[in-house]
Structure 1
Amino acid sequence: MSESGDNPSAAAGSRPDTIGAPLLNDAVLDDLVTLFDGDCSVARGFVDGFVTLSSARLARIRSAVARHDGQDGEVALLSLKTTSSMIGADRLTRECDAMAAAVRAGDWERLSEQLNGLHGQIEQTNEQLRQWLGSAHAD
């Protein structure tokens, strides 16, 4: 699953160092199940929550960029980055880091350009997560 679904053209607007990262790191998803003492239902709930909340997180990032609100932008990106890291969304985690650096630099034009790439990465990641949720080993 880590490499399937990778599409360099979908990473448009991304920094080059994010393209080489796997979309999902299966080992992290396996560790998530282990973290919950092998209870797949808890891990599945966490992953489902990520998928469900990702559009709201993206909307908050878009709003912060539109308002040039650095503080809210960093908080919103940190929220997405932290949960992305917890589910093994390595590429998304790196993109959040790159965008947070742009927020700190006040590079709003670059951030506006990166939003479409971020949206695409979220969509690809969510598709892979839906496949994981539907797989037999996630039961």
Structure 2
Amino acid sequence: MRGTQHIGITVPNVDEAVDFLVDVMGCESFFSFGPFGPFDDDWMAKNLNVNPRAVIEIITMVRCGNGPALEVFQYTSPDQDANPPKNSDIGGYHIAFYVDDINVATDYLIENGVQVLERPHPLTGGASESGGL
């Protein structure tokens, strides 16, 4: 393996997600396509482990600095659960970005209408302090 190429994230609205990633976070959208499906066979189930009648309405690739690209999906599916997972749920996720000043970055997010749960808590000692997390 050479590294991570992209991470896929399913969102309820690709346009809103990409607008946020580009306009607020400063990422670059570089490729979109879709819809993908529906298929008359079980291709979606066999290849993506989703309902055979699922459709990927649109996929947009977004690059954020030097990290892996984000592949932002918008699905429709007969068995779709519209409730996003919590971080503690199986399939829960988060994305972390490098910034030069965490407090300035937090203020910027708040000024741009992003809900910030709490101010940053510096982690001291061990791997977390050296960026090893």
TM-score band, normalised by shorter chain: under 0.3
Structure possessing the higher radius of gyration over alpha carbons: 2
Q: Which of structures 1 and 2 has the larger relative contact order (alpha carbons within 8 angstroms, sep 6+)?
A: 1
Larger % of strand: which?
2
TM-score by length of 2: 0.24
The TM-score, its normalising length taken from structure 1, stands at 0.23
